[in-house]
Amino acid sequence: VDPNRRRVEALNVGHLDANLNYSARTDIATQTPWKAPIMWEGMFDGEVYDKAHREANSSVALTVFAIGRYMEAYLKAFMISAEKHFMIGLPVTYYIFTDTPEEVPTFKLGPERSMKVLYTPHHPRWQDISMMRMKTISRIIESEISYRFPYVYCLDVDSVFEDRFGSEALGESVALMHSYFYKLPKEEFSYDRNPKSKAYMETGDYYYHAAVFGGTWRNVKAVVDSCYNGIMGDKKNNVEALWHDESHLNKYFWLHKPSKVLSPEYYWDAISLKTRPEIKKARMIWAEKRYDVLRKQ
């Protein structure tokens, strides 16, 4: 072990969120009951965030999984659009996990941006592919990311960036409001309702989407470790939470409130939900289901 190896910590940029324009929007809530910002277009100046984060030497590790057919179906559009919109102006490293590293295409990346391809096994059940990400993310934070990047983002690969997804989305602990649920009454949130599951919860704050979460490496590690422990605890008891890793993630953020919440602008289902007046920008959208590729023999 290299004795000079030091973990990196995020510098405090809390003044940025304190200066958000919370009254810029009157059509939707811009703060949670525990006073965390809910990030909507109009509340922030991206340049102010970028400048402060550059001065704080912020950098971001982005983890993404492309296992089995998801590589061919989604990785290219994800990467090409991320190079246009994800954390532009900050150093970014993509950690791409796949069962077929040799098939990852080369991408032309901007300055201070790089990618790392890492092998991870395929699991026969898609539920396990999704859930086992939690363990893999924990390991890479422990072995590498915590020494190199103050911030981590974890995203689904079936996603396409269409507008700025920038440093305003950085924070201590960040979760995303699911675009199907943000306007529904809490009773309709699809939390796990089975008391035998570790993800069981009666009520909550919001319904969060597991396709997008982030924060400082320490906080992201706490999220994924807790979800993984819940998942393995359930396996031991022969139960599985209703929405797998997402159910455990919702339980985590109910017990440990996120310091920042992303509005559904940050992951909008533009195909089913189309447009809505409060969604001024669809920053990242759900990719179209590629059944042509996913079900190919």
169 annotated ligand-binding residue? no
Question: Residues 253-287, buried b or exposed e (16+ Cβ, 10 A)?
Answer: bbeeebbbbbbbbbbbebeeeeeeeebbebbbbbb
Residue 246 designated active-site: yes
28 annotated ligand-binding residue? no
Find the catalytic residue in 168, 172, 240, 246: 246
Q: For the CB of residue 155, give the shortest distance to ligand UDP in the complex, in Å.
A: 8
**CA–CA separation, 296 and 58 (whole Å):** 41
Q: For the CB of residue 212, give the shortest distance to ligand UDP in the complex, in Å.
A: 10
- DSSP per residue over 152-200, as a string? EEEE-SSEEE-S-B-GGG--SEEEEE-TTTTTS-GGGS--B--TTSTTB
Name which of Mn ion, ligand UDP, none residue 68 binds, using a CB cut-off of 5 to 8 Å depending on partner kind.
Answer: ligand UDP
- DSSP per residue over 55-79, as a string? HTT--EEEEEE--TTHIIIIIHHHH
Contacts with Mn ion by CB under 5 A: the residue count is 2
- Encoded tokens for 286: 């759900």
178 annotated ligand-binding residue? yes
17 annotated ligand-binding residue? no
Closest C-alpha among 120, 10, 28 to residue 65: 120
Closest C-alpha among 87, 225, 220, 209 to residue 158: 209
156 annotated ligand-binding residue? yes
Q: What is the DSSP letter of 144?
A: I
72 annotated ligand-binding residue? no
Name which of ligand UDP, Mn ion, none residue 126 binds, using a CB cut-off of 5 to 8 Å depending on partner kind.
Answer: ligand UDP
Name which of Mn ion, ligand UDP, none residue 240 binds, using a CB cut-off of 5 to 8 Å depending on partner kind.
Answer: none
Judged by CB under 5 A, does residue 245 bind Mn ion? Answer: no
Closest C-alpha among 8, 48, 2, 40 to residue 24: 40
Sketch the per residue contact string, 134 through 173, with Mn ion: x for CB under 5 A, - otherwise. Answer: ----------------------x-x---------------
Q: For the CB of residue 285, give the shortest distance to ligand UDP in the complex, in Å.
A: 12
What's the number of CA atoms in the CB half-sphere (13 Å) around residue 176?
A: 25
74 annotated ligand-binding residue? no
Provide the Cα torsion 127, 129, 133, 136; round to 10°.
140
Of 50, 156, 163, 205, the residue at the interface with ligand UDP (CB under 6 A) is 156
Name which of ligand UDP, Mn ion, none residue 157 binds, using a CB cut-off of 5 to 8 Å depending on partner kind.
Answer: ligand UDP
Of 10, 53, 86, 158, the residue at the interface with ligand UDP (CB under 6 A) is 158
Q: Cβ closer to ligand UDP: 245 or 265?
A: 245
Closest C-alpha among 156, 14, 145 to residue 91: 145
Going by DSSP bridges, is the β-strand pair 260-262/173-177 parallel, antiparallel, or unpaired?
parallel
Considering only residues 52 through 111, tell me which ones interact with ligand UDP, judged by CB under 6 A. 65-68, 70
Residue positions in the annotated binding site for Mn(2+)?
156, 158
Site residues (CB under 6 A) for ligand UDP? 65-68, 70, 126, 129-130, 156-158, 211
Residue positions in the annotated binding site for UDP-N-acetyl-alpha-D-galactosamine?
65-67, 70, 156-158
Site residues (CB under 5 A) for Mn ion? 156, 158
Residue positions in the annotated binding site?
65-67, 70, 156-158, 178, 246, 269
Catalytic residues: 246
